[in-house]
Structures are given as structure tokens and as C-alpha cells.
Structure 1
Amino acid sequence: MSNNASCDALYVNKQIVSYEQLHSMSLYVASLLPKASTQKTDHIAILSHREITAYAAIVACVMADKTYVPLNVKAPKERLVSMLLTAQINTLVVSVQYQHLAIEIKTHLPALELILIEESKLFLNASNHITPFETAEKLSNSIRYIMFTSGSTGKPKGVPISEGNLLAYLDFVVPYCELSSDDRASQTFDLTFDLSVHDLFVTWLSGACLYVLPESALFSPGAFIKKHQLTAWFSVPSTGAIMQKFGMLKAHAYPSLKLSLFCGEALPTSMALAWQKSAPNSKVVNFYGPTEATIACGYFEVPNDYNEQQVVPIGKAFEHMSFAMSSNEELLIAGEQVTSGYLEATVKMNENFRQELSEQGKNVTWYYSGDKVAQHEDGYFIYKGRLDEQVKIQGYRVELPEIEAIAKAFLKNNLVKALVWPKEISSFNKSIYLFVQASKNEDTEQAIIEHMKNQLPHYMQPKKIVWLTSMPLNLNGKIDRNALRAMLE
């Protein structure tokens, strides 16, 4: 991190925290964490949102060589409990303002230890301790963080990312981004979204300052970029599309930006070009990568006036990673960033991780991404959609079978199908529709809606339930998704 402890490290909730203060705050939190010998695992969950406590707790976990597991404060309680059980969490670091939620969770997990953090104590501690940053040596196979993604079985899947996985990412991306202590980088992603890991570690390893956007600015960030003269930007393309729609990408609007990264969903070429004009001094780059391959593993720098595709290509693999294409046009990923598999995974869950012999006779793990691609004659890859029923909503991965599994169990009815509409890759107005073969009943509909709210995060909840007298079937006897989509047109 920054060699100058007095440099700004973090801006959040209208407060500036220096590297010196952040270090002292994190030492305080680290001192509250349990010793390794008293725990079954070194996994620490964090329940906080866009406040200093969250960031100090993450740094504390790194200092203490603990695995951090961020939780979304808006997620349904039942889902949080499921994640804590899957990750074998014994300790939960909680901001005081979320202690009521933490106490509710503890009623389901009585052995869970709660560590309540008051922000005032963090600042008091920061004024009493002055210690320069020192990076502790970590084992490459120790788990640095765990992120949860949607799972097709009805339960979220835990993805453990090792120290080695993360370092491989940072070794390439930190020098690529070329940030310094003069830079001010955005932090738009929720901490449960693995792209947030880039924000924290790339910014702080470069000695730059991380600017956390308040919730109110996430979908209209133009004024925030200008006010704080941000120099580095990273968000899902949806954010840029909303800015474009509402006229916030005017020419030369953001001259302070020098680096603009997008990731998490398909990047429309029209939006990328509009962003280039609004940030004329910025390089615009499309990052690509699933959570299983640590944040991102491919990139494409958008040339000026690029017009070959409607959607910006996912590009080429990072230099220490490899891309390949299977016979059915599926993108395969290998390299140091690929995780070893899911937490508590069945054989079927891990079937996308496959060991194959390289030309040199070494075992190589290839991750079968499920993304359909084409390869350009210049070697880079172009995204063509999904080969399965996974979709992206607001940048989040959503397994439609997970929604179906929850609905089927509640309704005791297997004739259920979830679809996303519109289906176009570049559309940002996607919503989920749930089709059910049954007679419409107002009480049942209200009950399933409430059940979904209690089981799923907001971006996975169906916009509408469509009741059908009979489910359309194709020639193979399977539910005809095209016929269902035709009902929405």
C-alpha cells in the first residue's frame, strides 16, 4: 500500500480516511477476531454496507490471514443463514446499525459469535495508534475471500478464491491500470460482487484513494465523478447505459477520467463509444471473467470509432491465463486464477472444472464457462450468449433453475418455468417472468410472491407470475421457451 501514511486511502459517507487511519482501524478490528486455534475455520463474515467498518474489516481479515465473506444487508435472512452454514462461519463482524439483523440471524445459528463495531471507536483507535503498513506473508493456497453466486439447485454456490488466485490477478492488473497516489478510483460494486475486490486491492496497492459512491449516486454518478474529479472508473455497463439514456454522457463531460473499466455483462458498442466521447482522456476497456476465474481474466481495449460488433468483444486472456473454444463454441478458461471448485460441492456441481493433459503432459484445470463465443481472425473472442439457463441481471449472475426450484417446492408443482425478457444480449431492461401451469388464485399468488421475497435477493425476484392452463411443449416434450417468450411480445 501507500508508502506515505498520510495519503488519502478511502472516501466514504463524506469522510476521508488516510492510510495511517485505515491501518490503525484495521488493527483494532483484527485484534477482536478470534485466534485460529479457537475456530473450526478462519472464515469471517462481514455484515456492513458502504461504511468504514466494512473496509476496515476486510483489511483486518487480510492482516490476520483470515478469509473474508461479505454479506449483503438487503439479502433475505434465510439466504444469509444458508451462506453462513455453507461457508462454515463461526464469527460475524457487524456494523452497529445492522445488529438487529445479526441478532435475528443468530436465532438460527446460536453458536455464531457476533463482533459489533461502532464507527466512533474506529476513529478513536485511529487517533491512538500510528503504525506503518506492512504486508504479511501469506500462503498461496490460503483462501482470501468467498463469494456466493446463484446456484441451479436452489441454493447459492460458494466460490473460494485463494491468495494465489488473487495475486495472479493483481500481478497483471495493478501494472496494467497504472494508478498512483494522485489517483481517485470509484467503488460502485456491492462488496458481495467480486468486482469490488478489484476496487479495493488495485486501488490500495497503487497508493490511490478509493471513493465509495453513496447508494443515491449509483444510477446517476455523473455529478459524483465531476465533484471528486475521479480518474479511474469501474462499473457494470448498465450504469453507463442509464447515464447514456438520461443524457449524462455529453462530450467532454468527464475529462478527469483516464481509465474506464466495464465488466459483469455485455458492453454495447454504442455505449462504449459514447463513454469515450464523454471521457476523452480515458482508455475504455471491457473486462471479462466469471467469479470462478477471480474477478476478470480477459480484456479488450475499445479503439476509437470501433464498429465491428454491436457488443464489444470480451477480448484476449490475461498473459498468465488461457482461453480455448470447445467444439460447441463454449469458452474454456485455464490458468492461475481458476479456483479449485465450489464449497461443499457435489460431483455434479464441480463438473465444469475438468482436468486435462497439456501438450507438455501436465494436468491443467479448464473451467467450462457456459459462455458461447466466436473467435475473430485477430485472435480475440466475441461473446454470443449463454449455452445454459444462466442470465445476467444488473451484472449479477442468476441461475433460472434456482428460481424454479424454490417455486416448485413451495407450490408443490413441477410445471414451472422462469424466463428473462427481453432476451437480447445488450438489453439492460431485463426482468424475470415465472410461468406456472395452474389456475390463478390471488391468495396463492400473494403467498408465492412473499416466499420469493424471503428467499431471493431483489434482482432474482420475478416481475410477474403468468398462470397457464397448459404449459406449451416442443417436439421433444420439453417446455417450449420460445412459445412462452412469444406470450410476452
Structure 2
Amino acid sequence: MTTGPDPRFAGLSCYTSNLAGYRAAEFADTPPWFATSVRLAVRVDLPDGQLAFSHHAQPLDRLPDGTRLTYASAPASDAADGIDAELRRYGRVVVVADSAALPWSPSAGSTHHAPHWLLVDGRYGDEWHVVDAFGGLLATGEQRPYAGRLGTGALLSALRQPGWSPEQCRRGALVFGHWTPPPDGADPCWLRRTADPAPAPRLPGTWLSGDDALEFLRDRVTDDPAAAGRHLDDLWAAAMHHVFRHRWYAADAAAAAWADLPRALRFAVDSARRGRPRPALVRATFDHLRRLERDQATAAPTPVGRNPRQRPEGSAMETRTLYDWFLTSARRHPDNVAIEVAADALTYAELRAATERLSADLVRHLGRPPRRVGLLSSRSLVGYLTYLAALRLGATVVPLNPANPAARNLAISDEAGLDLTVVDDTSGDGLAEYRRQAAVAVLDLTGDGWRRFLTPDPGATVPPQVERGPDDFAYIIFTSGTTGRPKGVPATHANVGSFLTEVIRRYRFRPESRVSQTFEMCFDGSILAMFGAWGSGATLCVAQRGDVLTPVRFINGKRLTHWLSVPSLISFAKRLRALAPGSMPTLRLSSFGGEPLTVQQVDDWTAAAPNTAVINCYGPTETTVIVTAYEVPADPAQRVAAVNRSVPIGDIYPHLEYVLLDDDLRPSDDGELCIRGDQRFPGYLDPAENAGRFVTFDGARARVYDGTEPLTARHWYRTGDRVRRESGELVHQGRIDHQVKVRGNRVELGEIEAALRIHPQVVEAVVITVAGVDGEVDLHAVYTGAPLSDDDLTGLVGHLPPYMRPRGFHHRAEIPLTEVDKVDRKRLADEFLATHG
């Protein structure tokens, strides 16, 4: 089973982060073990002013099962076999690479050779899956965590040791905290696990630790500013290890002070080079650290027991809710425009004030802060105000779809346990029936009365913000269930926080960005748009239904930089001849998800938006919006389609784990995608729905969750999506439930649709199943674009087995879409049967 970088160890050195990832895969106590091991010791008796650093008091090569890690090496001709043997026995192995030989490193191809540890956790024929949890700013540029595959030749080439400097050799010998020198020579080197007795840890030479070490470093760097430059890598590693330690023990001030140390030293080095040394700054920085360390030594440690990227318990970060993401931007960028809906535009300060006034109205109407708020609204300004106001009061938001029949929204209201529903002028045709039958309080914000919230009221009393914890529900999205009853999918504040932390960076959301909102709030894609924008100080530009169908006009009118939608809208705009070349010059990033994105759609879109990057994303509601982001190559000549003519979805986010399971629930390169990690929801609102939707996995075979035991974080969510890896990327193959049996043969409908879309005059193609007169399943293809002869279409599928060739081809002006603009297969099949019998 392959994974991505473990985000709990982000920020640590390449040695420690990947060693921690190795240990954490098997031993749950790894984070506190590393936190308690951190200490700074400096060897001071080396010649020519050289220093050596040891960052851990506990011997990190010792493992809880009694085994230990030792260096191993072999000539290149034998190294692959040695690494493979370790991988087969333990499922992972740490290897020692050269950073200048790693394709993802900013040092790649340069003369900046440095030892760099990697975690290898899978082999697929001639390819090895490698994980590099290290991220940081190097002299050659910024390196980000990485997970991917290397061929055997590339891996062995990266493991060649060019001859390390004495300083680099000392770092390798002290990586476990005590003296364990790696083998001499240029042969590939890795860590081998052994049960041999461990020698007593030792540190030869004269060492200072704790306050003595800090005092010594302070004096050394103050007297010789160039020493800061010579030792900056080791001091950076010391700082990051202490940041990890103090965050684990909820010592925010100490963590922040250590995080500032590398910046202060770089500033001092640069100043000294310009002839303006800053000794006072250096002394003050180290003395501040010494005071904080002494304070921490006398305080009882209070381990948080969570990911050090999360905020410690009791701090402001611990309870950073979805509303806090908005509030932080409102404080930092009060004058930025936060939202534009039709002719209305509000700054962050105005939106925050209106939200506070509306929250007072919610409390007055109910007599207390609400617990769960239904929101029956469609892209209205009052709807977005209510969303924020409910979050501010600590309530869970439950968006209801105005396009639903009233009976469905009533059933959802009952299932969700709403205590208040807010309605407005966009609540749909079922509003009157909903009012009559709803068993919950209804706050009526129809008409223009709600606009009073936009006007300051000096006499109004604003209720306090209600704090919630990371495991409390932020929102509940209801999806279609196989039983015909909607299923409630809750997302916790921790789920959404993990998601936003990842996507705001990936999507380059910035305060100057202008982001489209094309999704209804009952579709979780709206979270990416809303809080991607509000979490970064950007402007959310809300598209009405007509705007979505004419994207070019809306994008240019709003000067959008970010467009987020389903791919179907590209085909719709092309059918209307609304994608003229160069017609959308302001776009910088376009993201599509919810259904397959084709290379042809990308070509059409980027021709009209020549300055945009395109991201193809994927994610079930149960894993908090999206879990992949594949950026399509900018050069059209480099765009490669998968076998099914779709664009890859890319790898799963590195802070999540995934596995592909075949029909026998064994790991495969082609199977059902299962996911666990920070974004995985805690289970359906009705626990009975959880049975069959999760698995446990021991690395060899999965076991389906039957609901008789507690659902825990170790369970993997079964997405129901078939995924396989092609050319190193994950490719979506369609729903498992879109696999049909035709005369005993398993058929992927998406494969037939892809064959039909190859024709340049076919815009969309959907294959549906119909019961034949002989009781077997017949396939029929429905397509849009130019009408074509049956002979033309039959030729497109001639390479498929006879049982995969449609019985008939049916031209339509358009394919029906759901309320969230995905292909409505059920409606298409119903209309086909009504027409053809």
C-alpha cells in the first residue's frame, strides 16, 4: 500500500520527516516519541571552528518491537535486490539519495549535492513508489513534499553518493541522535531493519546541550557573523525540530520564537555581508530562546496528542471553525470586496457586520442560538449572509435544494434534526407546501425586509460568537441514496480545515483573486468557491443560472481570475458557439470536477482563456469536496489523454491515504478507490448507512465494515469509483455501479462513451442500458452535436467486442443535467423509454 507524505511531520528535516513517516506507518506513538526526543546538543571540540549537531536525546534507530535500523549498502547491481527484500519484508524502506538527482528537488541537475532521505513504500514492476515528506526553502529554491514513482534506473541513479563533505558525513552519522556512521563509498545506501543487539548510544567528543548550547551558539554567531552562514542548515534543523516539539506540547510562544530563528540569522548574515553586522539582534534572539526554554523546563508538559500542524488544545487555533476562516480575512482585509451578487457588493467589513446583525435575528426568532439551520436558498445574498450567521452561532448548516419537491426537503429537515429553516425569494415552487408541513421554525426573509441587516444599527445587541470544536459538524450535505432516501453527509470543522489548508495553496487563491461561484449551496463544490475565496481575502462572484450558461459574458463582466464549474458547461458553451479564441483573457486558473474532463474540453477552454491554468479535480462529498488536483500541461502538445479519453485526476492529496481494491478486495493498480485521513467524514448521519461503505485493510486484503463495531479513523471510505493508474497518474474510470453485465460480460459504459467522443462532431455521448425483448441488457448511445449516420458511429466502436457495441444511436439537441449540472442519467433513460418504449 502506497501513501503520501505524512503531514504531521511537515517542516522537519528530510532525515527526520521521512524517518518519522517510516516509524508512524507501524507505531502509533511516533509523534509524541519524536516530540519528547527533541533536544539540541553541539560538539565544540572539532578543529577549524567546525561544529556537529545532535537533535535527539532518544536513539531514533530503536523501534518499539525490539528491532533497530542500521545502514546497509551494496553495489548498484545488487542494491535493487537488497532494497526490494527490505520492502517485501516490512512494506517500506528508507533510502539515502542525492538531492541533486531528484527530479522534484529545486537542486535537480545542479552542483548542490546533499544527502537526502526518502521513503520507498511500494514497487510496481520496474517502478518504485517514493515519498518525500520534506518541504522547505533551500538555497536553490523551494521544495515541496512529494509522492510519486521512479523507475529502477532513476532510483539507483539518485542513490549514487558523489562523496559528501565532512559536515554532511557528520550529519548522516548523527541522524539518530547518537554516533552511527554510514558506510564509506559511492554505493547505494539504505536503512535495514535488524533484530541484532544494539550497541550503547555514544557521542564521542566534547558536547554542550540545553542552555549551555544556546549560550555557546549565541556567542559564536555574535563574534563571527559568518558562522551563522556556515551553520545555517544545522540551526534551521534545530529550529524546526523545536517548533515541532513545542507545538506538540502546546507551547505556542516557544514554537514561534524558534520559527523566527532562521529568519533572524539569515538577516544577520545578509547584513554582515553588506558591512552592517547586527550583533544585538543575534544576541536578543538567542537570549529570548533561552528564557523561553528555561520557562518550559519548569512547566509541566501538556502534550496535545494531535497533528502538530493543528493548533494545540486551548489555543485560538484549536477551535478554528469554518466561520473563523472568514473572520480571519475580515480582520486582515476589511476593505476588500468579499462578495458580489447581481448588483450588490459587500466588503469584508460590511459582510461581517451584516452577518452579526442577522445572527441576532436568528437568536431572537428561536429564543436561543440554533443548533442546526436549514437554508432553503439559491445563490442569493441573504442566503450567503445566513450561511455565515449560522456558522457564527456555532450551528451546523444544512443547505436544502430549492429545485427539490417539498416532500424531499421536508424529509431532509426531519432527518437532519433542524430547529430552524431560513427561506427567501429563491426558495422555489415548493415553499408554500414546506411552510405548511415543516415541523421546525421558519424564518421568513422573503421580500426586501432582510436588507435591514445591511444598514448599521447602533442600538442593536449582537450575540457573542459561539465556539465549536474541530469534531463538531460544520455542514451536512444530503446526497442521493441507493435506497431512494437522501443520505446525510456531515463534514466536521477539522475536515474542512484540512481541505482549505491544502486547496488555498494549490489554487493560488489570493486577496486580489476574483472567484466564481457557479454551484448551489446544496452541492459541496460551493465550499471550495466560498471558503477558498473567504479564507484568502478574495472576492466571491456569484453567478445566477443564466450566467452559468453564458460563462464568457459573466467572466469578462466580473473580471474573474478563477473559474470553478463542472466540465459540462464547456460543452454547453461550445454548442452555443460562445468560446471564441482569446475571449476570456482575465482567467488565471480554471478548475473542473464532478464528472470526466476530456482533452477536447481543455483545448476548447484554453483556446478561449489563453492565460489560464486548468486543474482537473475529483472528490466524493464523503471526503470533503475534493481530494485530487491534476494541473493540465500548459503546452497543448504535451496534453495526454487517458485510454478513456479523459484527463487524469492526479494523485490523492499527500495528507490523505488511499488504496485501490479489486473485486476480491485486494490491492491493485485498477480498482475501487478507498480513502482515509483528515478529510474523511465521520460517517453518515444515519449510522445504518455506514454498513458496506467502509473497509478495514491489513495491507493484503480488505474486510467490509458491517456496522457491528465502532467506526474509527482507521476505516477506509469506499468511494464507489473505479480508478486506475496510467503513465504515473490516477485516471477515473467511472462508477463501480456503472459497470454493467451484457450477456455475462462486464462492460464499462465510460469506455464506449470515450470511443464515441473521438468523432470531432460528437459533443457529448452517454450510453444507457435498456432491457431487451429477450430479457438481456441492450446498450443505446445518446449523443449531441451534429447528426451523424449510423455507419459513422458504428465505425467508432468497431474495435470493441460485439457485446459492447450499442444497438442504436440516438441524436438529441442536449443531454439533461441535474440541478448541479451533472449528466442526469436517470432522466435521460426515462425520456428514452417514454419515446422509444
Q: TM-score, normalised by structure 2?
A: 0.46
Deviation at 1:26, TM superposition (A): 1.3
Match of 1:334 in 2: 676
Letter matched to residue 353 of structure 1: F
Change (3 A) 1:136 1:34: closer
Residues 198-237 of structure 1: per-residue CA shift (max 9 Å, x gap): 1110101111111111211212211111122110000000
8 Å CA contact 1:45, 1:69 repeated in 2 = yes
- Find the aligned partners of 1:424 and 1:39 in 2 and give their Cα distance: 54
Change (3 A) 1:457 1:301: closer
Match of 2:245 in 1: none
Match of 2:114 in 1: none
Q: Secondary structure at the match of 1:383?
A: strand
Match of 1:267 in 2: 597
1:382 aligns with 2:724: no
- Find the aligned partners of 2:388 and 2:486 in 1 and give their Cα distance: 25
- Find the aligned partners of 1:273 and 1:260 in 2 and give their Cα distance: 13
8 Å CA contact 2:619, 2:627 repeated in 1 = yes
Match of 2:640 in 1: 307
- Find the aligned partners of 2:441 and 2:739 in 1 and give their Cα distance: 35
1:319 to 654, 676, 683: 654
- Find the aligned partners of 2:640 and 2:451 in 1 and give their Cα distance: 51
Deviation at 1:465, TM superposition (A): 6.3
Match of 2:831 in 1: 464
8 Å CA contact 2:516, 2:563 repeated in 1 = yes
Residues 364-388 of structure 1: per-residue CA shift (max 9 Å, x gap): 221111111211242x211112211
1:354 to 684, 695, 707: 695
Q: 1 or 2 for the larger relative contact order (CA 8 Å, sep ≥6)?
A: 1
8 Å CA contact 1:240, 1:271 repeated in 2 = yes
Give the stretch that moved more between structures: 381-390 or 5-14.
381-390
- Find the aligned partners of 1:121 and 1:287 in 2 and give their Cα distance: 40
- Equivalence map 1:28-427=2 (5 Å): 28-34=357-363, 42-96=371-425, 98=427, 101-109=430-438, 111-118=439-446, 120-128=448-456, 137-303=467-633, 304-305=635-636, 306-309=639-642, 310-328=645-663, 329-346=671-688, 349-356=690-697, 364-378=714-728, 380-389=729-738, 424=753
- Find the aligned partners of 2:491 and 2:345 in 1 and give their Cα distance: 30
Letter matched to residue 561 of structure 2: T
- In structure 1, stretches of 5+ residues that fail to align are 392-419, 438-455, 469-486
- Find the aligned partners of 2:528 and 2:380 in 1 and give their Cα distance: 18
Letter matched to residue 128 of structure 1: P
Percentage of identical aligned residues:
27
Give the stretch that moved more between structures: 208-217 or 422-431.
422-431
Residues 35-73 of structure 1: per-residue CA shift (max 9 Å, x gap): 999789821101111211110011112211111011111
Letter matched to residue 617 of structure 2: F
Give the stretch that moved more between structures: 263-272 or 5-14.
5-14
Change (3 A) 1:78 1:178: same
8 Å CA contact 1:285, 1:300 repeated in 2 = yes
- Find the aligned partners of 1:277 and 1:17 in 2 and give their Cα distance: 33
Q: Secondary structure at the match of 1:59?
A: helix
Letter matched to residue 733 of structure 2: K
Q: Secondary structure at the match of 1:271?
A: helix
Q: Secondary structure at the match of 1:86?
A: helix
Match of 2:340 in 1: 11
Letter matched to residue 468 of structure 2: K
Aligned length: 419
Change (3 A) 1:367 1:36: farther
The structure having more radius of gyration, on CA atoms, is 2
Give the stretch that moved more between structures: 10-19 or 57-66.
10-19
Q: TM-score, normalised by structure 1?
A: 0.77
Deviation at 1:184, TM superposition (A): 1.0
- Equivalence map 1:446-465=2 (5 Å): 459=824, 461=827, 463-464=830-831
8 Å CA contact 2:363, 2:370 repeated in 1 = no
- Find the aligned partners of 1:61 and 1:260 in 2 and give their Cα distance: 30
Letter matched to residue 225 of structure 1: I
Letter matched to residue 56 of structure 1: L
Q: Secondary structure at the match of 1:351?
A: coil
8 Å CA contact 2:490, 2:683 repeated in 1 = yes
